Amino acid sequence: MNTNQDSSFKPYISANDFIPEFTPKAIILGALFGIIFGAATVYLGLKVGLTVSASIPIAVLAISVFKYIGKSTILENNIVQTIGSAGESVAAGVVFTIPALLFLPGGSEYFQYFQIFVLALAGGILGVLFMIPLRRSLIVKEHGKLPFPEGTACADVLVAGEKGGKLAQKVYYGLGMAFLYKFFMSILGLWKDVPTYIFSKKSGLPNGTINGGITPELLGVGYIIGPKIAGIMVAGGVLSWLVLIPLITLVGDSLTTTFAPATKLISEMTPSEIWSNYIRYIGAGAVTFGGIITLIRSFPTIISAFSDSFKDLKESRGDNKVVKSRVEKDIPLVYVLVGSVVLVIFMALIPNIPTNLLSAIMIVVFGFFFVTVSSRIVGLIGSSSNPISGMTIATLMATALIFVGVGWTGDFYQPVVLIVGSIVCIASANAGATSQDLKTGYIVGASPLKQQLGLIIGVVASSFAIGGTVLLLNNALGIGPITPDHPNPLPAPQATLMATVIKGLLSQNLPWGLVISGMGIAAVMELSGVRSLPFAVGAYLPLSTSTPICVGGLVKLVVDKIKNTKEEESEIGPGALFSSGLIAGGALTGILIAILIGTNYDGKPIADYLNTHVAEGLGIAGDVISLLIFLGLALVLFKFAISKEEK
C-alpha cells in the first residue's frame, strides 16, 4: 500500500467505502452551476474588479437541490461543487485580463468569442494539470499546517448537510444570518458596506485611511484562518494605508510637478488615487518577492511531489504494481505532462491568437511558478484573498522585460504579452480553486482522480459560456470609459491596470523604484522572521479587505482562550460551522446582488428600485452605525463559537 496518505487522518468517508460519486446527475448539475456562477462572476469582475468564491455556495445549493430531485451522497455533492467552482475561477482570470485587449493597439481584433474561449479553456486546464503533482505535498503532507479556509469550510458544509440535525443547523443559521445582514446592507442600503474614516491633510496623518468591507463572508474567513495569519495580513494593510499613503502625502504635498506614473499632483490626490498610482505597484513588488520566497521554500515539497509521482508511474508499469486506494489516485503524471505539452504547442500554433514559441515557453514557466504560489497562498488565506492580479502583474513584468531584451517593443507585441499574462492568470486562479476543492475532497473522503476529471469538465462547460457573457456585456453596456454609445460602461478595473502595466513596460517607463521598494519591504519581513507573503497580500489589497478578516481572527483568538484550544486544531465546531454559513450566505447574496445590478426594468437596474439610500445621508454617524452593526454580527459569531458542540 502507498504510504503517502497521512495515516493519522481519517476522512469522513473511509477509503474502503465505495458510494456513488461521479454520477451523471452530479456532473450535469455541477456543469450547470459552473455556467451560472461563471456568468455572474464575469459581470461582478467587470463591474468592481472583485469576485466571489463559488465552492461553498454551490455545495449548499447542491445539498438543497438534491433534497428535491432525489437523494444524493456527500461525495456526489462534492463533485457538484468541484465542477461548479471551476466556472467562477476561470471567469475571474478571464475578466481580470482579457478585456485589456480593448485598450491595447490592435488588441480589439482578438477580442472575439473564439479567442476568449480558447484562452479560458487552455488556462483553466493548465491550472488543473499543473496542480495535480502538488496535491500530495500541499493537501496531504501539510494537512494541519495549511488551513485552506474555504476548502475546510466547504467540507464542513458537506458534512453538516450529510449529518443533518443540529450540526447542519449551525451552517444554515450562519447562511440565513449572512443573507439577512447583506440583504439589508447591500440591497436595501440601510447601512454602509464600507465605513471609512480619512484623516484630514492638516492632521498628523494626512490621507491616512481606516476602513472595512464589513461583509459576513470576510468575517467568516478571518475566523477560519485564525488570528496569526489575519494579523499579518492586516499589518500589511496598515503599512500601506496608515504609513505609506500619509508619507507620500507629506512628501508630495509641496511638489509642483507630477510624479510618475500619476498624471496629477500628489497634493490633489485622494487616498484611493495614491493607492492606485503608487501603493499598488509597491504591493505588486512585495507579492512578487513573497511568491519567489514561497517557491524557494516549496522546492523540497515540489521535488518530493514529482519524485512520488514518477515513483507511482514506475510502480504502475512494473510487475509488482502497488495497489492504491481510491483516495490516493490522481490523474497519472504521464497524462499531466503530455496534456500540458499538447496545450502549449496548440497555443503556439493556433491561428488568430498572438502567440509564438517564446511566449508559449513563458506560459509554461510562469504558469507552473504561479500555480505553485497560488495553490499555497489559498492554503494560507483562502481563494477570496488570493492576489491573482498581483501575480499577473509580475508575469507581465517578466514577459515584457524579456521582450524588451530581444527588441520586441512595438505595438504588435503588447497583445502577445497580455496573452501570456491572461493564461497564467486563468491557470493560477483555477489552480487556487482546484487546491481548495481537493482539500475539501481530502477531508470528506473523495476520489482525487474523479475530482480532477470533474474540474476539467467544469472548465470546458464554463468556457463556452464565459466568452459569450463577456461579449454580451460589452455590446450591451460597454467595457471601458464612458462614450456617447455606452454612457454606463463596465470599468473593468483589473484589466485596465493590466493594459497600463503592459504599455508602461514596453515603452520602458514603468516605475521600477516603487516595485523594487515593495520587494525590499517583503525582504525586511522575511529577515524579521515574518512570512512575507501574507503581509505582502495585505499591503497589496485595500485595507477594507483585511480589517474584517482581522476581526474574525480576533474572535477566534478569544474563543480559543476561553475554550483553551489550539488554533491549529481542525474540528467541526460550532464556530467553524457558523463561519462556513457566513461565507456561504455572503457569497450567495453577492451573486444575487450581481444579478439585481445587471438586470434592468424600465431602463433601470432592479437594484436601484430596492435601494433606499438611507445610509448615504448619515455622514460619519452612518459609519459608526455600520461599524456597530458589524460588531454585533461578530458578537453573534462569538456566541455561537462558545456554545456547546452538538453532534
Residue 82 phi/psi, 5-degree rounding, is -65, -50
- DSSP letters, 238-271, are HHIIIIIHHHHHHHHTT-SS--TT-SS-GGG--H
In angstroms, rounded to a whole number, what is the distance separating the alpha carbons of residues 379 and 143?
10
Which secondary-structure segment (H or E) carries 482?
A: none
Q: Is 643 left (phi over 0), alpha (psi -120 to 50) or beta?
A: beta
pLDDT at 292 over 80: no
Q: Is 565 left (phi over 0), alpha (psi -120 to 50) or beta?
A: beta
Decide which of 609 and 29 is more confident: 29
Place 527 in a pLDDT band, splitting at 50, 70 and 90.
very high
Question: Is-cis flag, bond preceding 261, omega within 30?
Answer: yes
pLDDT of residue 295: 65
pLDDT at 3 over 50: no
Q: Where are the domains of the chain?
A: 24-641
Checking DSSP bridges between strand 196-198 and strand 209-211, what pairing results, if any?
Answer: antiparallel
C-alpha cell of 176?
A: 440565513
In angstroms, rounded to a whole number, what is the distance separating the alpha carbons of residues 139 and 251?
47
C-alpha cell of 190?
A: 440601510
In angstroms, rounded to a whole number, what is the distance separating the alpha carbons of residues 74 and 161?
8
Decide which of 634 and 642 is more confident: 634
Q: Which residues pair with 490 in a beta bridge?
A: 479
pLDDT of residue 232: 92
pLDDT at 383 over 80: no
Q: Which residues pair with 600 in a beta bridge?
A: 605
Q: Which residues pair with 146 in a beta bridge?
A: 143
Q: Is 118 exposed, middle or buried (0-12, 13-18, 19+ CB in 10 A)?
A: buried
Q: Report DSSP state, residue 140.
A: I
pTM of the model: 0.74
pLDDT winner (highest mean) among 387-401, 404-418, 517-531? 517-531
Picking from 88, 321, 235, 200, the residue whose alpha carbon sits closest to that of residue 549 is 235
Place 24 in a pLDDT band, splitting at 50, 70 and 90.
very high
In angstroms, rounded to a whole number, what is the distance separating the alpha carbons of residues 182 and 588?
10
pLDDT at 180 over 90: yes
Tell me the per-residue pLDDT of 403-415, one tens digit each, with 9 for 90 and over.
888 888 888 889 9
Contacts of 507 (CB under 8 A, 6+ apart): 409
- For residue 634, what are the CA distances in angstroms to 178, 180, 226, 247, 361? 11, 15, 14, 33, 48
SS3 603: coil
In angstroms, rounded to a whole number, what is the distance separating the alpha carbons of residues 266 and 32?
48
- DSSP letters, 308-362, are HHHHHHHHHHSSSPPPPPGGG--S-HHHHHHHHHHHHHHHHH-TTS---HHHHHH
Place 296 in a pLDDT band, splitting at 50, 70 and 90.
confident
pLDDT at 437 over 90: yes
Q: Which residues pair with 198 in a beta bridge?
A: 209
